[in-house]
Chain A
Amino acid sequence: MSALDAAVRIAYRRRASPLHAARATVVAAYGGALALSALLLENPILLTALLAAVLLAAALAGVGRRLRGAARASVLPLLIATVLINVLVSRGGLTVFARLGEWGVLGQVDLTLEAVVYGLVFGLRLLVVALACLLVVCAADPDELLLALRRVSPHSALTAALATRMVGVLGQDARRLAEAQRCRADGPARGTRARIAVLRATVQGALDRALDVAAVLEMRGYGAGRRGPGARHARSRHDIAFASAAVGLLALVAAARASGAAMFTAYPLVSMAGGGATILAALALLAVTLAPFADRRGIEP
């Protein structure tokens, strides 16, 4: 599956889950809290708990498979590259397990256990942040999000909504172009010049699409700049549950950091908290994140 295919497949679709039943801004806040927690934590035990929490939340929301597919296609290659680069360029560790000699501009390259561990921790954080964002993409209605955001920044909000929509349209265009190239009597494009021609045609097609969409937006009165007052809806039980989970998660992370249960240092030697308090914090992270999924009343679309 290509990254573009993965992006197309991960688009929002209303499902019967407590997360989908919450309003888009609450889903965004819940995903944001998960991502922020990953950025605030370095302890591998707590990060692993957070990764498990995001994956379980995705599974309980019915988007686990799509999330894993998208992560495999677009996040994992980045993660592997991050770990490798950190191992090669880091100079902080003391436990050397391989000496690779002089590497040109990199100088003397020594591989250290600490660099590997820090690379893995950093990759784990990236992975949790990416998965949390993908969870929001899968579970938050982008139109509802647009409606909420346009009160703050209408043009940015519409650009974001259009981008979400155009990813799908351009993905279909790309598939169509690829099919047309396979139908040519002289076969699909080969060689650099031919590939540049395909790229030029693709860009031209995307620009044509963008112009068409811009014309439609003009005609729908987007440029008129008139905005009416927004609608007010009562908070559902799921809005309250997921908003509370987001607040609880951040509070828990703050407490873990303050108490030392989240302690982790990679350099010069790896040192981390791993006692009962840390295990308890990890379990609490899981419980707080997944608790809103226990209530399945009123989740049908």
Chain B
Amino acid sequence: MSALRFEHVGYSYAGAAAPALRDVSLTIAPGEFCVLAGRSGSGKSTLLRAAAALVPHFHGGSFSGRVAVAGLDTREATPADIGALAGTLLQDPETQVVMNTVRAELALAVENLGLGAGAVARAVEEAALALGIGELLDRPTSELSGGELQRVALGAALVSRPRLVLLDEPTSQLDPVAGDELIWQLRRLNQESDTAVLLIEHRLERCLGAADRVIAMDKGAIAFDGDPGGFLEWAAREERSLQTPAARLIEGAGLAPPPAGVKQARATLRRRGLLPAPPVPGEKAASGAQKPGRPRWSGRRAKGPQPALEMRGVWHELREGPAVLRGVDFSMQAGETVVLMGRNGAGKSTLLRHAGGLLAPTRGTVRPSGRVALLLQNPSDYLLHERVSEEAPPEALELLGLGALADRHPRDLSGGERQRLALAIVLGGSAPAAVLALDEPTRGMDRAAKGELARWLRDRAGEGSAVLVATHDAEFAASFAGRAVLMADGRVIADGPVQEILAGGWYFATETARILDGAGGVLLPEQGAALLRAAREAPAVIEEVAPRR
């Protein structure tokens, strides 16, 4: 019996002009690990909600066709019945957790199955052990970080040992370390318990290596269904915004086949003799190559005219709590593009709030040279009015390309459009902001929208604004930033050109940098492809630019 089966499913939300799903048919076998790919608005989340029986039971609308979870027809079964067979994890961990302690949260799903106290306790312990959250069991859910909350929500989805797990961008709020951990925990559970997995993820490079199969959607219909290798070949032909950085790198270098991850890409390069040899500790760097400079650590003071933003010895100490920022020294010049990176809880958002004047340091000083336009994580928080034109002045709407949407309701806009409207609201119509600060602006954005945002940020920097962005997305960071600041435990632990910071690591590194082991400090697939093409013509090049650590 299949874990999930869609038969000619069509669905329209109530009042929607176009259907969200069009004649979708697919079958997922027990134990399959499937990734659901597609641009924003392509129908991925709706398909997932139909598998969980929330469509049509919870959302209403017009539904046709048949969806069966482990043989149970969702037209006859309720979401609660389907919940016994399929665990579901949606995007926002805050609303995924409903109880006050982790133990109670994990217990809720199995208690609702009618199991006895002993069986409930055993299921909770096993789920906690499987996900490495045993130490969290007696913690209040209100005190958990975003990453911990997401693991608890995943535990709650898995505790009843479902035959199918449905996940909608579970890593969107996680740092690279926690995101990778979550994907591999899923893979391990999938392999050990034969649980089928259907995972929506925009950062495909993160999960293609673990996937057995990729289903791509476009305008509510299935556009591709096959193995990861086939998907990458299809994406190269049909939908280039879904290509992974590794695939773009290998394709740009004129090589084949497109790789599903770093390991396959490195194998392809090794076969061609193009992979740099592992660096030898203590060996001197070859002369004549593009060598990365020495990393400059915290305390770096920008030289030149008055900085656009200057922070000196900034501490943020919570009453009866920890210090969130610990003596941060940071400055940036007008026109500079800086990315802030670090694990969840490193202090990035707090630093931005200090920059924007939302928080006052308990010690130290923050001096912006002019207005700081600060865009916080949730763009919907900025929207107050009934029409887009009431939210921001016309010149700001034009600058963000929203002039044509002036009469629309702000909450009817897509995620990317809302993000731009929120930017227009914080920019206003007056003189350009001295500093433009954005906190995790790419959550839920597809690659095309991220590319547009990166271009827009570079344009603003070109006009003289200093751009400061906190993000977990190394690919996005590399596409717009000139400088990277890495934070940990409330401190700046590394500060330097983006090529230095993001080229040599495992987690805070782009996929291209991980494939090439940081060679030449290249971060983006196009740069890496140029390096590889040069190496094919003159084989010594890669050896010469391999980093010496």
Contacts and interface: CB of A to CB of B under 8 A. Distances in A.
Interface of A: 11-14, 141-144, 146-147, 161-162, 164-165, 168-169, 172, 176-177, 179-186, 189, 194, 197-198, 200-201, 204-205, 209, 212-224, 226-232, 301
Nearest to B101: A143
Contact of B116 (A176, A212, A228): A228
Interface stretch (B306-314, B427-435, B494-502): B427-435
Contact of A142 (B52, B90, B100): B100
A186 B430 CA distance: 9
B138 A221 contact: no
A185 B392 CA distance: 9
11 contacts: A11-B140, A11-B142, A182-B357, A183-B356, A183-B382, A201-B383, A212-B95, A213-B95, A213-B98, A215-B58, A232-B117
B83 interface: yes
Contacts of A224: 78, 80-81, 83-84, 112-114
Contacts of A198: 384
The 6 A-B pairs at the shortest CB distance, nearest first, are namely A185-B428, A231-B117, A226-B114, A143-B104, A180-B381, A212-B95
A73 to B, nearest CB: 16
Given A198-B384, A220-B156, A221-B112, A185 B425 contact: yes
Contacts of A143: 99-101, 103-104
Interface string B167-196: 000000000000000000000000000000
B384 A189 contact: yes
Given A143-B103, A180-B381, A209 B95 contact: yes
A221 B83 contact: yes
Contacts of A228: 111, 113-117, 119-120
Interface string B271-304: 0000000000000000000000000000000000
B99 A179 contact: no
Interface of B: 52, 54, 57-58, 78-84, 88, 90, 92, 94-101, 103-104, 108-109, 111-121, 138, 140-143, 156, 160, 353, 356-358, 371, 373-376, 378, 380-385, 392, 396, 411, 425-430
- Of A12, A217, A219, the most chain B CB neighbours within 10 A belong to A219
Given A218-B80, A301-B138, A176 B117 contact: no
Given A143-B103, A216-B95, A228-B119, 16 more contacts: A12-B140, A14-B138, A141-B101, A176-B378, A180-B382, A183-B373, A185-B392, A185-B430, A215-B79, A217-B98, A219-B79, A221-B84, A223-B78, A224-B112, A230-B117, A231-B118
A172 B371 CA distance: 26
Determine chain A's interface SS by DSSP, over half rule.
Answer: helix
A183 B138 contact: no
Contacts of A179: 353, 358, 376, 381
A262 to B, nearest CB: 38
Contacts of B385: 197
A198 B382 CA distance: 10
Contacts of A218: 54, 57-58, 78-80, 83
Contact of A165 (B100, B114, B117, B138): B100
A212 B373 CA distance: 30
Given A13-B140, A176-B381, A184-B382, A216 B98 contact: yes
Contact of B427 (A185, A216, A219): A185
Contacts of B143: 13
A212 B140 contact: no
Contact of A183 (B114, B376, B383, B396): B376
Nearest to A200: B384
A12 B142 CA distance: 10
B430 A161 contact: no
Nearest to B142: A168
A145 B385 CA distance: 42
A165 B80 contact: no
Contacts of A181: 382, 384
Contact of B109 (A183, A197, A220, A223): A220
A226 B384 contact: no
Nearest to A197: B384
A168 B117 CA distance: 29
A145 B384 CA distance: 39
Contacts of B113: 221, 224, 226, 228
Given A226-B113, A228-B120, A229-B117, A182 B99 contact: no
B384 to A, nearest CB: 4
Given A161-B99, A220-B112, A186 B84 contact: no
